[in-house]
Structure 1
Amino acid sequence: MGVICVRVDISQLFGHRGKSIPIDLSIDINDTEGYPDVVGFLEPVKIKGTLTNIDDIIVLDAEGDTLLNVSCSRCLAPVNVKLNFKLYEMFSKTGNIDEDIEAVTEDSIDLYPYVRNEVFENIPMKIVCKDDCKGLCPSCGKNLNEGNCDCDTSYINPKFDSLRALFNVDEEV
């Protein structure tokens, strides 16, 4: 996969405090490395907002959305997820003023890594196809939403047998 770059020219903002430029982008993200539950993007990531020079710090303030196809955390069925997020970044040509401000050495900013990070940070940890998803059988792997299997579910790993005494059904806790 080639390197993806989404460069935005910010040269007109330098030296003009208070000046803004609109941002309206559509970005294809095909790199899902590190996110095995993400099957793919069903539409490009759309970004709308502004880049503004505030006291010689370039502030990106935008909102984004996209439609993802992810795997259900229980049964692995495909699930479409609409994702909405905010994107707020600060840049400075004078160097890193603090850890929240990125240094800019050119007259343009590559927004791709910031957009990609924000998208993946906003994906919910556990996505299920439906609230009552039964998941997969731990023995045979059958999707239990499609029906039961014939596996013996009474087996308890002997390593956990001592825990059974803690949950004696005849005793009141």
Structure 2
Amino acid sequence: MILNVAEAIKAPGEQFPFKMEGRLEELSRGFDRFKVLSPLFIEGTYMALGESIFVEGRLKIRLETTCHRCLDPFTFEKKVKFREEFVKHLDPDSDGFLYSGDEIDLTDMAEQDLILSLPMRLLCREDCLGLCPTCSHNLNRGSCGCQPPEEEAQPNPFAQLKQMFSKEVD
């Protein structure tokens, strides 16, 4: 997803709008649990200041993954706002992206911003009931009939205090 920034370099400080669509075949960096279902849509503005190009906007994509509670596949649309800097020379204090010439590649930036915006645990719905701990039945589809595991009777460490306070009240 290449953005030609020649106009911005010739007119520093002026903002230029852009829209583009491209494919992410799969999300890399160990995030193979996502299947990409739609093209990646990016829109925003870019501006040159000195040797830096500032890109701001939003991206949108549709993904499929597995619910962390019930293990069923589900799809969702993710929208992410971004504001990034592209630089010609990366120094240790910079967290921008590199570019050269009159073009910047937005693919790595888009993928990184998308991955960083995802929650640690994705759920098919907020009230997902997950799996039965005994038989692994998906509880979103109804009860499994298993008896809940009996809790071992743990001695209450505050039982003695409760007895002391109940004697004082009498």
- TM-score of the two chains, using structure 1 as the length reference: 0.74
Deviations 1:65-94 (A, max 9, x none): 22222222210223332211112111223x
Residues 5 and 102, structure 2, Cα contact 8 Å, conserved in 1: yes
Letter in 1 for 2:40: V
Q: Which residue of 2 aligns with 1:50?
A: 45
The CA distance in 1 between the partners of 2:25 and 2:67, in whole Å, is 20
Unpaired stretches in structure 1, ≥5 consecutive residues: 1-5
Query: Which residues of 2 match residues 1-150 of structure 1 at below 5 A?
Result: 6-33=1-28, 34-38=30-34, 40-93=35-88, 95-96=89-90, 98-150=93-145
Residues 86 and 96, structure 2, Cα contact 8 Å, conserved in 1: yes
Q: Which residue of 2 aligns with 1:165?
A: 155
Alpha-carbon offset, residue 130 of structure 1: 3.0
Range with greater deviation from structure 2 (14-23 or 58-67): 14-23
- TM-score of the two chains, using structure 2 as the length reference: 0.75
The number of aligned residues is: 159
Alpha-carbon offset, residue 14 of structure 1: 2.6
Runs of 4+ in 1 over 6 A off after TM superposition: none
Alpha-carbon offset, residue 113 of structure 1: 0.8
SS of structure 2 residue aligned to 1:127: coil
Letter in 2 for 1:14: I
Alpha-carbon offset, residue 36 of structure 1: 4.8
Residues 49 and 62, structure 1, Cα contact 8 Å, conserved in 2: yes
Letter in 2 for 1:165: P
Identity %, equivalent residues: 26
Alpha-carbon offset, residue 155 of structure 1: 6.1
Unpaired stretches in structure 2, ≥5 consecutive residues: 163-170
The CA distance in 1 between the partners of 2:126 and 2:40, in whole Å, is 27
Change beyond 3 A, Cα 1:15–1:138: same
